[in-house]
Structure 1
Amino acid sequence: MKKQIYKLFLSVLLIAVAACSSDEPDYNRSVITPGNTESTEFDSWLEANFVNPYNIAFKYRYEDIESDFDYYVVPADYNKAIKLAHLVKYLCVETYNEVAGVDFTCEYFPKMFFTIGEWEYKNNGTFILGTAEGGRKILLAGVNDLDRYIQNANMLNHYYFKTIHHEFTHILNQTKPIPTDFQLVTGNGYVADSWSEEPFNQIYLSRGFISSYAQHSYQEDFAEMMSIYITNDEASWENMLEGASSESLALIQQKLDIVKSYMSTSFGIDLDVLRNTLQRRQNEVFSGKVDLEDLTVK
């Protein structure tokens, strides 16, 4: 009986060893299967509309090296990335072309857009809409939520296009520094990361700030002033300021005047012309003039 059990055990062991022998790793083949990197119709469209005329890369495929490892993120949806690329082209790139000229766009506009599907959530209840890095790259988050907001101009601006203009302002500020007098208007009012906490998230207007995030630092204040001003028409801007005291309105107006002067003297851009052009183009998008899914290369 013992000999039979031993023979049975030995047979099972030999079978197991034989099975495992086929599991030897193939060192010439990666176990990680890369995503689809074959050229698509969208790639051809991006090359014709971003790469060739402006040397701008619009990256819609997920690349971990371009993302922030501090956050859990997901890739951008292919079809939503197409719509966003059209919107960036028409509402940002070509808006600056029209107002400041193609040379301005080629020189100053960021050379890379990297998109991810989800927002970057922080542990304080806020989340990051986008970031600018080194004067060359803008991260656009939340692409997979685009269809939720694409029919609402206020929401589309809040989640996407104010972010682009905000981050582009930072890039311009790296080229031409923010005037010192701007820093002094509400110099004692900046509260760093406390901007999202009570009472600062409620009383920012009365403190002379156009948004709660503007209270973070003078750099964010400057970018908020410019991006919010140009993404809102005159009526919307006035509604935002409704209820503010004359003192706080004077502070906001003082800062806006400095932003306007900065854009005019540093880059030859009339901020009101930029706003009117952007508003017209935005209305053209919502009227259906722009086909956000067309990938015809012209």
Structure 2
Amino acid sequence: MKKQYALYILLLAVAGSFLACSEDDLNPTSVITTGEKVKNDFDRWLEANYVNPYNITFKYRYEEIESDLNYYTVPADYAQAVELAHIVKYVCVEAYDEVAGFDFTRAYFPKEFFLIGEWEYRNNGTFILGTAEGGKKVLLSGVNYLDQYKNSIASLNHYYLKTIHHEFTHIMNQTKEMPTAYQFITGSDYVADLWSESPYNAGYLSRGFISAYAQMEYTEDFAEMLSMYVCYPASQWQAWMNEAGSAGASLIDAKLTLVKQYMADSWNIDVDKLRDSIQRRSADLEAGKIDLNDLTLK
């Protein structure tokens, strides 16, 4: 049975509307699959930048079979899908190339991304940012909100980039098991789906968890530790440790030590070097140094 992991976030506001399509919308750049598709510039760019080098399929056209029918979903906006493809490639894929090597990325990075426009809302006040399935496929939701967040690296991390690193961590853990000792550091304090409810949605740092969602269970905790560490700068991490206090910071540091040890021993990856690469690339992105709309083939 395939095991599926999901990353949730507290629902702050329900927004967005369904997209209407007319016959004029169903052109080569349509985000809805209606049979045999005609390749456009974006398809050719994806082939040159994802398929050929990495054997990664980046699906931006809506396919019902790829969707979770338990949720109301809408297609990803074409223009924002183009932007997200550039962001994922520069900040995530190429960061692993730089630190772990191209062969690692090609072998282990998820082989399929599937984009949908809206978040997947749950009835407990949370919504799904992304999922990893079978060690191969990553769903990224909320693509149609990208333009609201693309100029802020903190927002991009919160809604998109951390999700990718989180889900890739699950994929790595499915391939090579995480340290058994990790689950016992705060073993009696995981609260499953109660993580988003009071009192667990506050004070989690002092209890040894880097995020509220990390309290769900230890595999999610591990993925949160790695993704939060590499996505956010050292100044933010130190601020969290200050807020955690000595007891909480000690627990988080024990977890981080095992995360770094796992990445070094299992994957020959220096987590601090990975963080440096991601931080530098994130700064480039926020400074506008990356053309997110360039579809020229090089």
TM tier, smaller: 0.7 to 0.9
Offset of residue 216 of structure 1: 0.3
- Mapped to 2, the partners of 1:246 and 1:200 lie a distance apart of 19
Is 1:268 equivalent to 2:289 in the alignment? Answer: no
Bigger drift between 150-159 and 239-248 goes to 239-248
Taking structure 1 as reference, are residues 36 and 83 closer, same or farther at Cα in structure 2, changes over 3 Å only? farther
Inter-partner Cα distance in structure 2 for 1:112 and 1:68: 15
CA distance in 2, matches of 1:244, 1:98: 32
Q: Which amino acid aligns with 1:52?
A: N
What is the CA–CA distance in structure 1 between the aligned matches of 2:152 and 2:181, rounded to whole Å? 36
Contact 2:81 2:143 in 1 (8 A): yes
1:227 alignment partner, SS class? helix
1:84 maps to amino acid: L
Partner AA of 1:245 in structure 2: G
In structure 2, the partner of 1:72 is 72
The structure whose RCO (Cα within 8 Å, separation 6+) is larger is 2
- Asked if the contact 2:73–2:118 (Cα under 8 Å) also holds between the matched residues in 1, the reply is yes
Question: What TM-score comes out, normalization by structure 1 length?
Answer: 0.88
Identity %: 62
Q: Residue 41 of structure 1 corresponds to which residue in structure 2? A: 41
Aligned residues: 266
2:55 alignment counterpart:
55
1:180-204 superposed Cα distances (whole Å, 9 cap, x missing partner): 1101100001000000000000121
| Cα distance change of structure 1 residues 96 and 203 upon mapping to structure 2, 3 Å threshold | same
State the Cα distance separating 1:264 from its structure 2 match. 0.3
What's the counterpart of residue 164 of structure 1? 164
The Cα shift of 1:34 comes to 2.3
Q: Deviations over 1:224-283 (max 9, x none)?
A: 000000001100111122222211110000000000000000000000000001000111
Task: Give, as a single letter, the amino acid of the residue that structure 1 aligns with 2:251.
Answer: L
- In the alignment, what sits opposite 1:155? 155
TM-score (norm 2): 0.88
The 3-state SS of whatever aligns with 1:245 is helix
Q: Distance in 1 between matches of 2:95 and 2:191?
A: 34
Q: Which residue of 2 aligns with 1:19?
A: none
Ranges in structure 1 where 5+ consecutive residues have no aligned partner? 1-32
Alignment partner, residue 237 of structure 1: 237
Tell whether 2:180 aligns with 1:192. no
Name the Cα RMSD after superposition. 1.1
1:256-295 matched pairs, under 5 angstroms = 256-295=256-295
Question: How many angstroms apart in 1 are the aligned matches of 2:167 and 2:115?
Answer: 14
Describe how 1:1-298 pairs up with structure 2 within 5 A: 34=34, 37-298=37-298
Cα separation, 1, equivalents of 2:245 and 2:95: 34
CA distance in 1: counterparts of 2:106 and 2:244, whole angstroms? 39
**SS in structure 2 of the partner of residue 151 of structure 1:** coil
Q: Secondary structure at the match of 1:34?
A: coil
CA contact (8 A) 2:59 2:113 kept: yes
Q: Contact between 2:207 and 2:244, CA under 8 Å: does it hold in 1?
A: no
